[in-house]
Structure 1
Amino acid sequence: MVRHTRRSFLKVSGAAMGGIAVGSSVAVATSTERFIVDSKKTSKSDATAAGLEVVHDLSEVDLLVVSGAESDVESLGAKYAPDTVYSLDLPDTSAPITAEEASATDEPYYPIQWDKQSQNVPDAHEITQGEGTRVAVIDTGVAAGHPDLAHAVNTDLSQDFTGDGYGAGGPYGGYHGTHVAGIVAANDDNEEGVVGTAPETEIVDCRVFSPSSLASFADILAAMVYSANIGCDAANLSLGAYPVLRESNGQFYGKVLNRTTSYVHNQGTVLVIAAGNDAADLQHDANLISLPNEAANVMSVSATGPIGFNWGDAGLESPTYTPAKYTNYGTSAIDVAAPGGNYDPEFPTGWYYDLVFNTIAEPVFDSDGNYQGATYGYAWLAGTSMAAPQVAGAAALLKSQNPEYSANNVRSVLRNTADVPEEFDRAYYGSGVLNPLAALQE
């Protein structure tokens, strides 16, 4: 097992941390031992006969993920590329604040959830809460034991794609996946914590990050296929790589990714993917590509957020649909925008209220890397990582109301009912800002 090396959050009966621009990731290395192979002209048995270990057999999309010497991979006579490794862009956790400072009551932190307020989530819940749906969270792991998520996580279907031995249904790769899952499905009737967009949906933890923060492109592909095969209505990927060159291996990665996303889409699973936190114009980067959010048949999500929420003034300096300072953009590269959090770097206190507040679970490991449990709490975080699950939750609501909808139907309705703000450049929004209530009333 990999030894845990992350900085820890404060322990909570309510303590929380603030972090800016979380959750897109960057490609940091290519593997010299693991490869993605186009299996249209070869087979699993061929790979085994060549002395290769088959890590993932993705026959649904004509791909094999193998481990072994590159010379043995070459002997298959098939197209291939090295697997790539990703590292989450985790937040700066240098600014702790206690949740008690929020003065929240009722479900009790809803008053500081500007993201749910701006989407009229309580009104949407009068129509549906996501009953009968299933959402995969492809991430660092989801804490099934968190008080706001215990009702939602299906541990039997949850799966570890890393092979690191920790399993699934826990925050073994860090707090990030639990925050994402809470945005989708945090319990709305347990009289504690926060509310999710679709609290009655079922969450499947598809863990692709290990405690070292590393994940592989191949594991992500495998998790996508698995999500479709178990009938998920949506799969959330708050991760990605930018910039990737379109030429050379980038063409191969793009081809196998599109093959995978098209399969998942055709199976009825809406793939919702964070657009990234590089403040990059994806539409005009001719020789570069952002993966996987620029793949075919996915919903690429940019981030918005207010400036001045709960600072003490009656109004906002900038509305909740303000493009986030960090978000990637590009009219043709973004499907919709959604609440991900914003910040004013010149404001000395209270800036964290403009971030997204939701569940976290910080894993605890001993010096030998053995998992000792987790500390459950809540945190303010921001990023397109936080925007994407707003859309995944909305997809669950829409599918709950319309079980006959295909993935294309869901995607089309969410885009067609999105609001288009006039104050800011359309390039930040794609079709507009997510409006779950309008989608349900369509």
Structure 2
Amino acid sequence: MAGYNRRSFLKLSGTALGGIAVGSSVTAAASTERFLVDTAKTSQSEVESAGLEVVHDLHEINVLVVKGSESDVESLGIDYAADSAYSLDLPIERESPITAEDASDEPAYPIQWDKQAQNIPEAHEITRGEETRVSVIDTGVAAGHPDLEHAVNEELSQDFTGDGYGAAGPYGGYHGTHVAGIVAADDQNDAGVVGSAPGTEIVDCRVFSPSSLASFADILAAIVYSVRIGSDAANLSLGAYPSTRKGQGKFYGKVLNRTTTYANNQGTVIVVAAGNDGADLQHDGNVVSLPAEAANVISVSATGPIGFNWGGEGLESPTYTPAKYTNYGTNAVDIGAPGGNYDAEFPAGWYYDMVFNTVAMPNFDDEGNYLGATYDYSWIAGTSMAAPQVAGAAALVRSQNPGLNANEVRQTLENSADEVDEFDKAYYSSGVLNPYAALK
């Protein structure tokens, strides 16, 4: 098998057919009119009296997101930080080698190596995730996709961006629909693909606009909202790396840890993509990956085969092989899960090593008016695809044992994970996700 240096691999990933959906993001800009303020030493009335407009009331974590001038925020004499925008690094080319018609004519389970590796059909004999709820904090979930229309709760779905497009649609891109399909794609419609927990309910918490920008404040608001509506798990296939631990980054870390700890204490399992920078998060200096290294989250690395379904005998690398792009780190990653792999030097068919699931491409006119979506299926790879495997598994565990708290769900998934001796433990920590074993 051809060798790759991680950095050179990332340069190739943006133009791959099917595409690498990068789970980590980069800071785009600091806002000059939106701020996060710590209200531990003030009140909402005092904030409003200073001439500031409250955008998100996150009283559960003693935070308000406000809009106004920085001088008015400074006049309060409290801790604050400017909101920041992040760009989700999506593939430039995303032409699927298989079409929706091909996928819907016959069930696509035979090419879903990720579900096969997790023994999902056997897990469904125990539970399909009924009576649970998973929030997908992402670019938007297409409620009209044939494989998701059974699952998306449009009434509870929320748009946190304020861009006017609404929720339960792929307004920020196809990414969120792929993530949601991995969690809950319909297993009983004799078409398309299978999700890990097709009996769960999906709530779309959209934090990305068509411009692919998301704000730190909106992400926090979506996590708090997920707790308010009783989500059993919240999936965040997003993040920022590297983030400094100093200055404004220190404030972000403090508020983020407060948010994720609150969610965990209230029973919502927070699942986060570890990121696709090929970085050792344990030994990367005074920087941090957010929210992957936040307190009380399950940080997920990506695994994937090389050589699946190519017609030859055996795989070049098994399904639990660490993906070439995945971040890792002994105390930074909690579990590995199928996210897809990639080797461009192999012949046609390399895309089978990625994760095949639902996508929805939004269509806009020249004035930005939404014209609807094109529903399809595609191969994509990334820790973005690994995280929802874990979120779906969390729904299965909670469905079987509704009385478990968030820590107990996490412990169940980690204690039942498959240990891997062939590769460094830093890629997996507790091991590779095994939902069927978790239920047994």
TM-score (norm: length of structure 2):
0.94
CA RMSD of aligned residues (A): 1.5
Task: Work out the CA distance in 2 between the residues paired with 1:22 and 1:102.
Answer: 27
1:99 shift after superposition? 3.6
Q: CA deviation at 1:430?
A: 1.3
2:96 & 2:133 partners in 1: Cα distance?
34
Structure 1 stretch 140-149 or stretch 346-355: which is displaced more?
Answer: 346-355
Contact kept? 1:87, 1:214, Cα under 8 Å: yes
Query: Contact 1:161–1:208 at 8 Å: present in 2 too?
Result: yes
- Cα deviation for residue 23 of structure 1 reads 3.1
Structural mapping, 1:220-231, within 5 Å: 220-231=219-230
**Partner residue, 2:63:** 63
Runs of at least 5 residues in structure 1 that lack an aligned partner in the other structure: 1-15
Deviations 1:80-103 (A, max 9, x none): 011111101101416541248978
Checking the alignment, whether the CA contact within 8 Å between 1:20 and 1:382 is kept in structure 2 is: yes
Which residue of the partner structure matches residue 45 of structure 1? 45
Q: Quick one: distance in 1 between partners of 2:243 and 2:414?
A: 27
Contact 1:110 1:194 in 2 (8 A): yes
1:349 & 1:433 partners in 2: Cα distance?
28
For these two proteins, the number of residue pairs brought into alignment is 425
Letter in 2 for 1:230: I
Deviations 1:180-205 (A, max 9, x none): 00000000000110000000000000
Q: Residue 80 of structure 2 corresponds to which residue in structure 1?
A: 80
Residue 24 of structure 1 contacts residue 383 of structure 1 at CA under 8 Å; is this kept in 2? no
How does the TM-score come out when normalised to structure 1? 0.94
CA drift at 1:309 = 0.4
Where 1:433 maps in the other structure, the secondary structure is coil
Distance 1:209 1:103, change over 3 A: closer
| Distance in 1 of aligned mates of 2:424 and 2:344 | 22
- Residue by residue over 1:21-62, the C-alpha shift from the partner in whole angstroms, topping out at 9 and shown as x without a partner, is 433222221111111100011121111111111110100000
Q: Residue in 2 aligned with 1:202?
A: 201
**Structure-1 residue corresponding to 2:5:** none
Q: Following TM superposition, where does structure 1 have runs of at least 4 consecutive aligned residues deviating by more than 4 angstroms? A: 100-106
Further displaced range: 172-181 or 44-53: 44-53
The residue correspondences of 1:199-278 to structure 2 (distance < 5 A) are 199-278=198-277
Give the counterpart letter for 1:142 in structure 2: V
Measured against aligned partners, the alpha-carbon deviations of 1:155-195 in whole angstroms (never above 9, x if no partner) come to 01000000000100100000000000000000000011000
Superposition pairs for residues 171-186 of structure 1, below 5 Å?
171-186=170-185
Cα distance, 1:362 vs structure 2: 0.4
Unaligned runs of 5+ in 2: 1-15
**Is the contact made by 1:104 and 1:110 (CA closer than 8 Å) also made in structure 2?**
no
> Which range moves more in the overlay, 165-174 or 341-350?
341-350
Contact 1:148/1:359 (8 A) holds in 2? yes
* Deviates further, 42-51 or 249-258: 42-51
Superposed CA offset, 1:217-236 (max 9, x none):
00000000000110000000
| Paired residue type of 2:253 | G
Further displaced range: 340-349 or 371-380: 340-349
**Residue type of the alignment partner of 1:248:** G
Residues 118, 102 of structure 1: alpha-carbon distance in 2 compared, 3 angstrom cutoff: farther
Q: Counterpart amino acid of 1:163?
A: G
Aligned to 1:11: none
Q: Is the 8 A contact 1:299 1:411 kept in 2?
A: yes
Q: Secondary structure of 2:235's partner?
A: strand
8 Å CA contact 2:100–2:375 kept in 1: the answer is no
- Distance in 2 of aligned mates of 1:192 and 1:103: 7
- Give the 5 Å matches for 1:104-143: 106=106, 108-143=107-142
Q: Indicate the SS of the match to 1:343.
A: coil
